[in-house]
Chains A and B, each alone.
Chain A
Amino acid sequence: MNRKADFGFSQIVIAVLMLTVVITGGKIVYDLSGEGSQYLLGQANIKTFDQGIIDRYNQTSAYTQDATNSVKGFIYAVNSLAYLDTYKDNAFSKKILGVKFNDDKSLTTARKSFGGVQVEPTYYDRETVTPAATASVESVKESIGLAVLSCWFIFEDKGNEPTRCFALAMPSDYPAASLTELDGFMNAGVASYLGSHKLLLCEQFSKKYSFITQEVCLEKIGGLAGDGMFDVEDIDQGDVPANFFTTLAPKGELLSICADPSWLDEVTLHGGAEDACDAPTNALSFGYKVKGFSLPQDVTPSSSGFTNAVETLTAYGDPQYLLFYEKFPADEAQYWETSSYQIAWGTILAVEGGFALVDVITMGMGSKFGKTLLAPFKNPVTEVTGNLVKKAVSTAGQGATRLIKGLFSTPIEFLVKRTVMTEAVQESAEIAFGKSIRGLLGSADDAVAKELAEKLAGTSSHQLKELLEGADKHFVKDGVLTTEGERELLDRLNKKVFITHSTPEIPFSEVMEMPYYKLVYQRAEQLAKGGDVTEELFEQAQREASQKVAGQVGKEIVNEASLQGLRSVPREAVRVYRAGMRGQNLLKEILLGDMTEEARKEALIKVLKAGDADILAKMSPLELRAFLSNQGAVKKMLFDEKTGKVILGAIGKDFTEEAQQQALKRLDTILASKTIDELAPRSGIAIQTFLRTPTSSIGRIGGPLAMLEQKRHLVAVLAGIAAARIESMAEKNYPVGGANSIGLKSPYFHTIPYTTLMEDVTYPEINAYIANSPDPALQKKLQAHQALVEKTVLPNYGERNMEGLLPEVERYYLSLTKDQGVFSQDPERFYLASPCQADLLLEVSSCECYYTEDAEAGIFETGDAPKQLMGKDENGNDVATGKFVTTPHFDGKNSMLYTLDSNSKSIKECHSDTAWFHADTLHKPLCIKVNPIVENYGTDNYCYHGISDSDEAISSAITAAQIGLPFLGLLCGPAAPACIAGIMAAVGFGTGVVGEAAKGAIAIDSQWPNHD
């Protein structure tokens, strides 16, 4: 019977496996011979494909064009604003700012279009009067009259300075009949209205400005209305079209009210010209508006089968387009993860299970049950059993690190909620927690445990998380805190030192200690010098790297899994697996190393010649991104400039000398053509056309394909694409590539970086030049910069110049103003996500950036340049100095904070304040604030994650239930029979699970990436 059963089972298993292999093989063959592959290999014309594919291709092309145009418009606005604000007084700025914007000819040049995106200057130094939609016509007339009158007073008080006073913005839903009436009022003349309504207006005026008497007001209004010498009216409204209110006002055009020092001293009215007032600008007055900005994404049921953003997010991963400054903000990334919309049952059960066990142990300590349970810990003979129990505790929490971190991050959050707990319960909690720690950590030192518990109870969960970053590395051995670890922990708590969450995963200094990396850098250096590296050296590097990587794997899985709440273990496993391939992949280091372009090309060709064309399959997402986006030459080698076809297949084993020469020539041609941003999207369109749809299986088979060790270029390319897909789905938090950069990210596209246009010129150098004290050696570079600026900032320039940011943008931090900006908002790093249709308002201001002064190195206060963060090691390689750099900002004020990103490149940082404002220091760096005026709320138009809010009362109630019962059991524990403690622990487990699940549901509900 048994034999038969065994045989049958094996057969079934084999059959299933065979079926899987056959189906997968069939899929592979089918897909490799499919239209997508044909196109990618350059063997087919898109126009001959099915209409569905052609439609998708056309739609994707249109979307990409919209997104690219929007980004170009945005870059233009940022560059222009930064430049004009930096050099307000130089001749070039005056040339631009001095344009008389009410001149029709100059208006056409001041407004710049990028496809459907229009960029134009806008002004902030005037008050905008916005009548309500229900306001009567009479009250609107009154508002205009009072604004004109106020403007006249302002003009005189300013010593007849030309002034931009007010702008009237009519609500879009203002009744048409009333608008017609207002046109009649305007055509009859505002002066006439002032003359006939003197008393009424002056009564209103004096009511508001009580310090101006009616007599004075009447005198002024009389002058305006034409009561003075020769009965000349002092109001000029010649620029207001006769039908302004009925035609232009409903479209959002403004009625500007300005004071103009013409020879008759007038208040002038302009209708529809945004920049009509001929008044000087200053830092507070000038901004840019990017109208019609769009990052398109189709989330309608008809095309995607999904009806809302969350479903789309779950299906596709990251939004179609992500535009971000320097790096995607880590705090925001969570809202764009599919895991944010699922309850982590595994984590909840594991954590609560772990706690139930700890509760049982600690609650029963004073009881017979507890003594029995704890006996193995104290008896050397049963040490093994004790270890097993400890191991069980660890296992229950999915590993010791996880459990320790869980203990610190989860329950403490509840413990410190003093609002829901009495002091007695709190004290009990502290004692209990001390016991928990002692029991868990195997420490017999009551004083240490108590001290630890007290400190922890007074520390926020956020701080604890920060505090315990890297705890597994330094403090924990075999799943328990070492004595040294405990002391270290207490020291840190006492000093309130915590590591910033923006510290790179692996500190650069640590990375540099790895011999492998040193060797790689040496190799890169030798390659750069035209030398060679021995095979032994290469193999040694591989061996050492493998060991290091293997050591990292476990840590990374545990770290990441615990940080991600165990929900993304599979994803992390994929990532770590790919990271594990690093040891065999020298190419990345060659590509990322500091070497000449020529040497880089040579190195790449060497690798390709060696037949290692499946390098893409072995790349981690990070490496792939770096491979694709950071290296222009490599990028251009992968994709044909004109067609977007993958050209990697043209080079490989059969790479003859002649072919090499041709390839190099081709590279040179591509490099000279300067069409980076045109090239990249095109190839992306091709890839996306075939892989974007969820019904496509090419993306899904990419994973298995990547595992195959085939030396086929097709496989390499498809594996690379698959890796890109995985990266797109899961990873968005890779920085663009250092300070002063903007990246446009999209699935199947590499990140398009828009970095500093002239990296060899710094702002201080430019400033010195402008101050007429240039270093002669810099003149040539600086003249080139000036030429660049003229091409970039002047209204008439080529669109191709919008490939990056001016060095002057480095003076500013780019921040995002959200819906809550109206209530005040913590500083947010700029980013936008599709679908997004908005008008972007850009203005120069300061940002409110805090940091705690005694924070461990990781955030740097610096000015001159990010380079100041770096030093040289004994081999002359760049390393992070790990020291605070406290030199003042290069302009002597507005200091900025920097930190290192995960690529060890410095980027700007801006953090919100902490609860303890005593310890906070405030930096006020210059900012370019971007405020998206989002259209059509609630109709699949997101742009960014909006208001996240949950009902604190409900959360508190759940929290109370969640911890109250276990603590009740705890209090009863020593006095009650053992079974009570067990029951209470079980009840605690149950309420904990229910509470966590409820909290998860609330959190999901409040994480909707929409804003209302």
Chain B
Amino acid sequence: MKRTTTLIILLVVLLALLSWVAIQVAPKPAPTHQFFTENSKDWIVPAETGVEVSSLLATRSETRVQAGQQDLLTEDGGIASFFLSGMYHGKRFDTLALPSDFFSKTKGMSITEQHRAGEEQAAMRVQPHLIPGDGVPDGFILARKEEKGIVFYLYIDDDFRSQLSAVNLVWGDDFSDSGTLRERPFSFANLKDGVYVDSLSGASWYQDDPIKGGLLVGDITISTMESFEETESTFMMVR
């Protein structure tokens, strides 16, 4: 009887041990793409107002987007940064094209309130938060690490499309040398919730140090840049 009990206990212990070992040595599951989807339209998620381009979903949480800057984790553990800005009818801005008296008129507000007011009063916005249909052009450029290098995903809302006479992409290694620049029209084939998505791969300007080129998206062409007429243009830019 005692022997049987001892045997059972031993078996139980052995089983437990084996189970534990099995769990420990079990092959680690391969990464999947159920949540971190590969479809650039899926990265557009609803927000309180409008939509948000989720860098979490797009980059498997290996990025940080804040105030016109995207920091991306590189293969060697370093940081690759991309800086966003815009030009609204010849007037440069960073994330929001604000009226000149904006800050004096919003004195006393908290940062959150001020940012909300800024979003409401801006003539154009370049940020992950897009509000289609409100009459204000919204755009965002997301850099994503892929096998073929950095791919830029370009998001613009329907206001951006309707208010600009044309939407082109101009990119290249040196803005001061039009021979290095290329251009093509924005593709409006992908649409979700009032936001169009296009992408650009194969650019190399971001690999230079220092950087002399970049990517422009908006009412601009190489010829307008050659004649310095972009001072009247509206576009967003990443460098």
Indicate whether B168 reaches chain A with its CB closer than 8 angstroms. Answer: no
Residue pair A263, B23 in contact (C-beta under 8 Å):
yes
Residues of A within 8 A of B79 (CB): 283-284, 844-846, 926
Residue pair B73, A284 in contact (C-beta under 8 Å):
yes
Residues of B within 8 A of A1012 (CB): 106-109
- The closest CB in chain A to the CB of B127 belongs to A824
Alpha-carbon separation in the docked complex, A209 to B42 (Å): 7
Nearest chain B CB to A205 CB, angstrom units: 10
Residue pair B210, A921 in contact (C-beta under 8 Å):
yes
Residues of B within 8 A of A824 (CB): 67-69, 84-85, 94-95
- The closest CB in chain A to the CB of B41 belongs to A211
- Known contacts A823-B67, A825-B94, A895-B210; decide if A282 and B73 are in contact (CB<8 Å): yes
Alpha-carbon separation in the docked complex, A159 to B33 (Å): 10
- The closest CB in chain B to the CB of A894 belongs to B209
- The closest CB in chain A to the CB of B47 belongs to A208
Residues of A within 8 A of B29 (CB): 156, 159-160
Residues of A within 8 A of B176 (CB): 918-919
Indicate whether B100 reaches chain A with its CB closer than 8 angstroms. Answer: yes
Indicate whether A848 reaches chain B with its CB closer than 8 angstroms. Answer: yes
Residues of B within 8 A of A263 (CB): 20, 23-24
Q: Which of A157, A822, A848 contacts B35 (CB 8 A)?
A: A157
Residue pair B64, A282 in contact (C-beta under 8 Å):
no
Choose the segment among A592-600, A697-705, A949-957 that binds chain B (4+ C-beta atoms closer than 8 Å).
A949-957
Residue pair B32, A157 in contact (C-beta under 8 Å):
yes
Indicate whether A888 reaches chain B with its CB closer than 8 angstroms. Answer: yes
The B-contacting residues of A in range 142-196, CB under 8 angstroms, are: 150, 153-154, 156-160, 163
Nearest chain B CB to A417 CB, angstrom units: 13
Residues of B within 8 A of A861 (CB): 210
Q: Which of A127, A893, A917 contacts B56 (CB 8 A)?
A: A127
Residue pair A923, B111 in contact (C-beta under 8 Å):
no
Nearest chain A CB to B180 CB, angstrom units: 12
Indicate whether B34 reaches chain A with its CB closer than 8 angstroms. Answer: yes
Contact with A along B94-126 (1 / 0, CB 8 A): 111010111110111111001100100000000
Residue pair A917, B28 in contact (C-beta under 8 Å):
no
Residue pair A953, B71 in contact (C-beta under 8 Å):
no
User: How many residues from A make CB contacts under 8 Å with B?
Assistant: 64
Q: Which of A163, A207, A949 contacts B101 (CB 8 A)?
A: A949
Nearest chain B CB to A847 CB, angstrom units: 8
Alpha-carbon separation in the docked complex, A894 to B80 (Å): 9
Residues of B within 8 A of A208 (CB): 45-46
Alpha-carbon separation in the docked complex, A894 to B211 (Å): 11
The A-contacting residues of B in range 1-59, CB under 8 angstroms, are: 20, 23-24, 28-37, 39, 42, 45-46, 56-57
Alpha-carbon separation in the docked complex, A960 to B210 (Å): 41
Alpha-carbon separation in the docked complex, A30 to B63 (Å): 67
- The closest CB in chain B to the CB of A127 belongs to B56
Alpha-carbon separation in the docked complex, A803 to B24 (Å): 47
Indicate whether B145 reaches chain A with its CB closer than 8 angstroms. Answer: no
Indicate whether A534 reaches chain B with its CB closer than 8 angstroms. Answer: no
Alpha-carbon separation in the docked complex, A159 to B95 (Å): 35
- The closest CB in chain A to the CB of B207 belongs to A893
Residue pair A159, B109 in contact (C-beta under 8 Å):
no
Residue pair A923, B118 in contact (C-beta under 8 Å):
no
Most chain A CB within 10 A, of B33, B34, B39, B237, is at B34
Q: Which of A821, A823, A845, A917 contacts B81 (CB 8 A)?
A: A845
Contact with B along A843-878 (1 / 0, CB 8 A): 011101000010000000100000000000000000
Indicate whether A924 reaches chain B with its CB closer than 8 angstroms. Answer: yes
Residues of B within 8 A of A844 (CB): 79
Indicate whether A938 reaches chain B with its CB closer than 8 angstroms. Answer: yes
Residue pair B60, A157 in contact (C-beta under 8 Å):
yes
Q: Which of A124, A153, A1006 contacts B64 (CB 8 A)?
A: A124
Nearest chain B CB to A960 CB, angstrom units: 15
Indicate whether A88 reaches chain B with its CB closer than 8 angstroms. Answer: yes
- The closest CB in chain B to the CB of A849 belongs to B210
Residues of A within 8 A of B56 (CB): 127
Indicate whether B153 reaches chain A with its CB closer than 8 angstroms. Answer: no
Indicate whether B166 reaches chain A with its CB closer than 8 angstroms. Answer: no
Alpha-carbon separation in the docked complex, A924 to B74 (Å): 14
- The closest CB in chain B to the CB of A886 belongs to B210
Residue pair B95, A153 in contact (C-beta under 8 Å):
no
Most chain A CB within 10 A, of B30, B67, B78, is at B78
Residues of A within 8 A of B104 (CB): 949-951, 1006
A–B complex contacts, Cβ < 8 Å, 11 sampled: A153-B34, A283-B79, A284-B71, A284-B73, A848-B83, A922-B212, A923-B209, A924-B209, A924-B211, A953-B101, A1012-B108
Interface residues of B (CB under 8 A from A): 20, 23-24, 28-37, 39, 42, 45-46, 56-57, 60-64, 67-69, 71, 73, 77-81, 83-85, 92, 94-96, 98, 100-104, 106-111, 114-115, 118, 175-176, 209-212, 214, 225, 228, 237, 239
List 5 tightest A-B contacts by C-beta distance, closest first: A824-B94, A952-B100, A824-B68, A846-B81, A153-B35
**A158-B36, A895-B210, A950-B104 are known contacts; what are 9 more A-B pairs with Cβ within 8 Å?**
A153-B35, A154-B61, A158-B60, A823-B68, A824-B85, A824-B95, A918-B176, A923-B211, A1012-B106
